[in-house]
Amino acid sequence: MATVARPVTARDEPRRPNIPAADLQLPAVRDYEQVDREIIGTLRPTVKWAIGLGVAIFFLIIGASAWMYQIYTGLGVTGLNPPIMWAVYIVTFVFWVGIGHAGTLISAILYLFRAGFRTTIYRAAEAMTVFAVMTAGLFPILHLGRPWKFFYLIPYPNWRYIWPQFKSPLVWDVFAILTYLTVSATFLYVGLIPDIAVLRDRENINPVRKRIYTMLSLGWRNTDREWRHFARAYLFLAAFSTPLVLSVHSVVSFDFAMALTPGWHTTIFPPYFVAGAIFSGIGMVFTIIIPLRKWFGLKHYVTINHLDAAAKLALFTSLCVGCAYMNEWFVAWFSGNEAEKAFFANRIWGQWWWASAILYTCNMVLPLSLFVQKLRRNTAWLFIVSFTINIGMWFERFVIIVPSLSHEFEPWQWTSYKATWVEYAILAGSFGWFSMWFLLFIKQLPVIAITEIKEIVPPRLRMRHPHGITPSGEHFDFEADTPGEHD
């Protein structure tokens, strides 16, 4: 957590402007006062924000109404019919769990690797993770005929003589998702405590907000003792979260890989799912952070260099999932398994060709454009690509789930699936639910970590620093402005 005012060495000066470095530079952020003023300034509600929140709540009401209708009428209102009993709901469940992966990847794994570009985007990504997993957790419950019985999955002493089957991947899923939600929320909150203390100390207008911040900051006082234990606890939380990121989507992939269904029963699923989850999560981070930095005037915090570095991560994970897709085709052909070969032919050239075409175009073809540096640094293009990644990753899960169930071993079982308006409404409602929480979050708590940004800003010093720090604590300019902005 802690930093030292390091000398500006010859190696660092001058930097090549178009190469994002592992460490973080924010040349346009001069002092702590500016950090507090600009980041806390983003908490003021605006008309556009209120409209956005209204739209999110509108979609949420549509989804909630559709769910009420489904509970009242029964699951028959969906397009689910044997053998396709998993469709839009489970597709959307896996989609949101995947979205939830980038937050912990950015905040924990990149923290352990000391990748500086994470600092400005990790808070938004962490919040996105928590809300995405909250959204994902709704779908297995939405998918139940009697959703009020969901607690049957939780093992506790009871007289029903109903115990979870601990060898079932569905029970593994419950533990994995609950653990992930708890640890992600804890990680987010612990990181927020010092920032909430800043808000508590700076809030002088609204006594209710001040009281809430006082409670949430837990009496944080910025003492050296607190920081020492905080830094160690944060490190260990990051160390725990790292294998958790890899395990959760592996466990989700076991829901499929443990079955004998063609297209599912493959050992490549855990890494394939994890890479896909990270890919989709980074896509969603771009979809959120690119408008945010523009609307909140935070381009000098989330600089184009940071987006460039994150785009490389998206490109890398796109190549990973592309490799996994090609491996699936190869294994289907090389295995000599007729059912597998027939299934893959049906997936790519048969009734589901359109879904596969969307998937491969969005996840394999368009992200290749990120090899071009100019496009990586063009925020409009990045936003478009991130949007298509979101669409492509939803269709990836659709292509994994629905075509497999529609084309199993016995030809008499082969069938089709068409989602109904109820499923589409609940899908839209999930985006409303997620957006509502995120929009509420960004106006109550800082979307960029105040204290971590202050670690990067050179501290005020009394003496002229021998290696390039002025008496006011600023480094000598070595990068006048963030170069390469194309937006």
Partner 1 sequence: MRGVLGAFRELDAAVGAIDALKKTRFGDIHVFTPTPRHELEHALDRGPSPVRKFTLVGGLAGVTFGYWIAIWCSDYWPLVVGGKPIASWVPYTVFGFEVMVLIGALATVAGLFIYAGIPRLTMMVGYDPRFSHGEYGVWVECPADKAPAAEDLLRQHGAVEVRRER
**Angle in degrees, CA 243, 110, 447, rounded to 5:** 110
For residues 273 and 392, give the distance between their C-alpha atoms in angstroms, rounded to a whole number: 14
Q: Tokens for 37?
A: 């003023």
Q: Is 470 in the site for partner 1 (CB under 8 A)?
A: no
Q: Is 201 in the site for partner 1 (CB under 8 A)?
A: yes
Q: Is 334 in the site for partner 1 (CB under 8 A)?
A: no
Among the candidate windows 132-140, 143-151, 180-188, 425-433, which touches partner 1 by CB under 8 A?
Answer: 180-188
Q: Nearest CA to 135 among 433, 439, 394, 424?
A: 433
| DSSP 8-state code for residue 16 | P
Q: Is 362 in the site for partner 1 (CB under 8 A)?
A: no
Between 19 and 112, name the residue whose CB sits nearer to partner 1.
Answer: 112
In the block, which residue shows the tokens 């896996």?
Answer: 94
Q: Is 369 in the site for partner 1 (CB under 8 A)?
A: no
SS3 call for 469: strand
Contact 84, 415 (CB under 8 A): yes
| DSSP 8-state code for residue 42 | T
Contact with partner 1 (CB under 8 A) among 237, 288, 315, 366:
237
Contact 119, 449 (CB under 8 A): yes
Among the candidate windows 52-60, 279-287, 322-330, 461-469, which touches partner 1 by CB under 8 A?
Answer: 461-469
- Contact set for partner 1, span 392-451 (CB under 8 A): 451
Q: How far is the CB of 219 from partner 1 (least distance, A)?
A: 4
Between 266 and 451, name the residue whose CB sits nearer to partner 1.
Answer: 451
Contact with partner 1 (CB under 8 A) among 53, 55, 150, 202:
202
For residues 421 and 428, give the distance between their C-alpha atoms in angstroms, rounded to a whole number: 10
Q: Is 467 in the site for partner 1 (CB under 8 A)?
A: no
Q: Is 154 in the site for partner 1 (CB under 8 A)?
A: no
Q: Is 243 in the site for partner 1 (CB under 8 A)?
A: yes
Strands (E), 303-450: none
Q: Tokens for 60?
A: 């949420």
Contact with partner 1 (CB under 8 A) among 18, 65, 247, 470:
247
Contact 306, 29 (CB under 8 A): no
Q: Tokens for 355?
A: 């879904």
Between 255 and 308, name the residue whose CB sits nearer to partner 1.
Answer: 255
Q: Which positions from 21 to 60 touch partner 1 by CB under 8 A, shown as an x/- string? A: ----------xxx--x------------------------
Between 76 and 471, name the residue whose CB sits nearer to partner 1.
Answer: 471
| DSSP 8-state code for residue 115 | -
Q: Is 232 in the site for partner 1 (CB under 8 A)?
A: yes
Contact 39, 453 (CB under 8 A): yes
SS3 call for 81: strand
For residues 284 and 276, give the distance between their C-alpha atoms in angstroms, rounded to a whole number: 12
Among the candidate windows 13-21, 94-102, 193-201, 392-400, which touches partner 1 by CB under 8 A?
Answer: 193-201
Q: Exposure of 125 by Cβ count < 10 A (0-12 exposed, 13-18 middle, 19+ buried)? A: buried
Q: Is 233 in the site for partner 1 (CB under 8 A)?
A: yes
| Footprint on this chain of partner 1 (rule: CB under 8 A) | 1-5, 31-33, 36, 155, 161, 163-167, 172, 175-176, 178-179, 182-183, 186-187, 190, 193-194, 197-198, 200-202, 218-233, 236-237, 240-241, 243-244, 247, 251, 254, 451-452, 454-455, 459-463, 473
